[in-house]
């Protein structure tokens, strides 16, 4: 398993030289004293390079962040169905700006002594850049005053049903488990398949409870690299399936049982996120400008596989965090603002059937962001057509900007005469 960065004491506890329990998102001492709890940013050692061109690329990557006015708010809600925004409790410190990530990503070095592009080793490809793993927040007022989250819960249930039917959905990639699922996820898959079929739901929910406790009780083996991230992802997805069934369709006893396991699920999600965040490749990445040889194709294919895994991690985090926040707000009226993960927003990448197609789409239209915050719309809906963005991103934006405005944006995008003039 990749080394996990140990959190330091929060700034308030460190300044007062008091013991900090280092709980997320806020320590108990800061909560008791009603003060802002801010943890110092952990630093990772980065490999140095003497290649001046690679340094230029790193500079270009930072320059590809574009400022954007933001609409929307974190999906923290306050009632079973219709939720008033003023009732929401946001206690996390919030940065000033939430920015989409636009990268030139695959324009890499050309050897000046050759007529053809050559491969160079880059420290971090765009999908592993540190900045893309920072949780995003925004201070702007929400785009819609009332939010009905029942459609979101139904949408996630439909995604899980699609997973059982088709083997993939909007947050589980179709190529991720094409060679077989881990055992723990197989159990969750068959349980949910029985749940959506003709089996008696009470019996299936009882099985889900027993399997969830067995899963939580399993010893996690220390596995590093891609296999480690995949192991984290599998157990997170499995526990989420059990939690979802019991939280939204279980008896009072089963719902209470699922609530007790929510902190475990959140902890596992954090550990999965840290494992993906600290991953930097087994032997580095060779990145290219054009696919001109079999070796180029191999490098492209390897990068695509890493993207498939890390993007599934990103989307899984977004789905689980939003569902957990939704449920907690429904039951207690508030939820912690943990921030929004960045996910791939450019249309077509998630559904690409080959590494070459995926590579081609990443190279197109540098003006369309590759990675965007799941909760940020802002100038993106005024500067781009709806069909340029992934369906999952647009689904989240419906709950932050408002369904009417997003539908108007989609409709106007199909009209060549009106374009985006309404926005």
Q: Return d(Cα 20, Cα 210) in angstroms, integer.
A: 35
Out of 14-28, 85-99, 165-179, least confident range: 85-99
- Judge whether residue 166 has pLDDT over 70: yes
Token pair of 248 as six digits? 């939204």
Domain of residue 1, CATH code: 4.10.240.10
Residue 6 lies in a domain: yes
Does a structural domain hold residue 62? no
Q: Would 34 be classed as within a structural domain?
A: yes
Whether 344 is in a domain gets the answer no
Please state, in angstroms and rounded to a whole number, the distance separating the CA atoms of residues 147 and 144: 7
Is the Cβ–Cβ distance between 120 and 109 less than 8 Å?
A: yes
Contact 111, 352 (CB under 8 A): no
Has residue 95 been placed in a domain?
A: no
pLDDT at 271: 95
Predicted TM-score (pTM) of the model is 0.70
Determine the Cα–Cα distance for residues 89 and 93; give it in Å rounded to an integer.
12
pLDDT digits (tens, 9 = 90+) for 107-138: 322 222 333 333 333 456 788 888 899 888 76
Say whether pLDDT at 143 is over 80.
no
**Number of separate domains in the chain:** 1
Domain-embedded: residue 3: yes
Q: Does a structural domain hold residue 407?
A: no
Structural domain range at position 35: 1-43
Q: Is residue 1 assigned to a domain? A: yes
Q: Where are the beta strands (DSSP E) in 3-112?
A: 82-84
* pLDDT at residue 112, rounded to an integer: 28
pLDDT in tens, 245-266: 999 987 899 999 999 999 999 9
């Amino acid at each position: 398993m990749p080394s996990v960065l140990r959190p330091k004491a929060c700034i308030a506890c460190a300044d007062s030289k008091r013991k900090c329990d280092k709980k997320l998102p806020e320590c108990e001492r800061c909560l008791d004293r009603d003060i802002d709890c801010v943890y110092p940013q952990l630093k990772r050692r980065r490999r140095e390079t003497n290649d001046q061109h690679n340094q230029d690329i790193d500079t270009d990557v930072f320059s590809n962040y574009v400022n954007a006015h933001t609409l929307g708010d974190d999906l923290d809600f306050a009632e079973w169905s219709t939720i008033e925004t003023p009732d929401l409790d946001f206690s996390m410190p919030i940065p000033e700006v939430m920015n989409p990530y636009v990268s030139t990503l695959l324009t890499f070095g050309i050897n000046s002594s050759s007529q053809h592009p050559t491969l160079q080793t880059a420290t971090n490809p765009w999908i592993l850049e540190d900045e893309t793993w920072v949780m995003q927040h925004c201070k702007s007022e929400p785009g819609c005053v009332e939010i009905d989250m029942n459609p979101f819960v139904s949408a996630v249930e439909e995604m899980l049903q699609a997973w059982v039917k088709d083997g993939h959905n909007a947050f589980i990639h179709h190529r991720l488990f094409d060679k077989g699922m881990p055992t723990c996820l197989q159990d969750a898959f068959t349980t949910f398949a029985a749940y959506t079929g003709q089996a008696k739901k009470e019996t299936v929910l009882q099985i889900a409870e027993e399997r969830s406790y067995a899963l939580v009780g399993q010893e996690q083996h220390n596995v590093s690299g891609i296999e480690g991230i995949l192991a984290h992802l599998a157990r997170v997805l499995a526990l989420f399936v059990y939690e979802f069934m019991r939280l939204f369709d279980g008896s009072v006893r089963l719902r209470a049982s699922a609530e007790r396991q929510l902190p475990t699920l959140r902890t596992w999600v954090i550990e999965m996120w840290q494992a993906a965040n600290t991953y930097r490749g087994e032997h580095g990445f060779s990145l290219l400008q054009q696919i001109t040889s079999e070796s180029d194709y191999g490098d492209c294919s390897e990068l695509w596989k890493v993207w498939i895994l890390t993007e599934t991690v990103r989307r899984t985090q977004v789905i689980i965090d939003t569902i957990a926040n939704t449920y907690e707000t429904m039951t207690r009226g508030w939820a912690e603002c943990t921030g929004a993960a960045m996910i791939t927003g450019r249309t077509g990448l998630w559904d690409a059937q080959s590494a070459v197609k995926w590579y081609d789409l990443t190279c197109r239209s540098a003006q369309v962001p590759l990675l965007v915050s799941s909760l940020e719309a802002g100038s993106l809906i005024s500067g781009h057509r709806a069909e340029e963005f992934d369906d999952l991103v647009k689904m989240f934006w419906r709950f932050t900007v408002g369904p009417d405005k997003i539908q108007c944006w989609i409709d106007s995008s199909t009209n060549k005469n009106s374009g985006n003039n309404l926005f």
